[in-house]
């Protein structure tokens, strides 16, 4: 289920899994398609390390140079948004949301002829099944 996020290009999808399991599943699906995971940041753990509290939150930074490089070459401004990111976070009510930028957002923001990264959006859907 996608939740509206207004006009800011962010897609929020409900996950039936914990934050950790949501990101484990996404990482597995991305790796199975040859998409590199560059970093996984446990933001709750980082907050805990400095004595702050935070609900479970993890950020995944990922990409595929075979797809990103030609886009960066033809539309250099897209480098500000690459590599791609997805964040899983727990709401105050205990739901887990997976958020990412929509392909249409990248298209509008960088003047692309068609939305990129549609495959990634499909893979995110698979991770949430």
Beta bridge partners of 100: 11, 86
The predicted-structure confidence for 42-54, as pLDDT tens digits, reads as follows 999 999 999 999 9
Measure the CA–CA gap between 96 and 78, rounded to whole angstroms.
28
CATH value of 2-127 in 3.20.20.30, 3.30.310.70, 2.60.40.10, 3.40.720.10: 3.30.310.70
What angle (nearest 5°) sits at the alpha carbon of residue 61, between those of residues 49 and 114? 150
Q: Is the peptide bond before 75 cis (omega within 30 degrees of 0)?
A: no
pLDDT tops 80 at residue 73: yes
What's residue 129's pLDDT? 96
pLDDT at 8: 86
- For residue 4, pLDDT beyond 80: no
Domain locations along the chain: 2-127
Concatenating the DSSP letter of every residue in 64-117 gives -HHHHHHHHHH-GGGGGT-SEEEEEEE-TTS-EEEEEE-HHHHHHHHT-SS---
Taking only the tens place, the pLDDT of each residue in 110-127 is 999 988 999 999 999 999
């Amino acid at each position: 289920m996608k939740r509206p996020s207004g006009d800011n290009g962010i897609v929020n999808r409900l996950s039936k899994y914990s934050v950790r399991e949501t990101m484990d599943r996404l990482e597995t699906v991305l790796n199975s398609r040859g998409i590199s995971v560059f970093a996984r940041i446990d933001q709750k753990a980082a907050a805990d390390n400095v004595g702050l509290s935070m609900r479970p939150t993890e950020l995944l930074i990922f990409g595929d140079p075979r797809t990103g490089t030609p886009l960066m070459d033809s539309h250099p401004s897209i480098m500000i948004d690459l590599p791609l990111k997805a964040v899983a976070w727990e709401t105050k009510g205990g739901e887990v949301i997976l958020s990412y930028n929509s392909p249409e957002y990248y298209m509008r923001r960088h003047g692309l002829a068609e939305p990129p990264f549609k495959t990634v959006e499909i893979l995110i859907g698979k991770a949430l099944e």
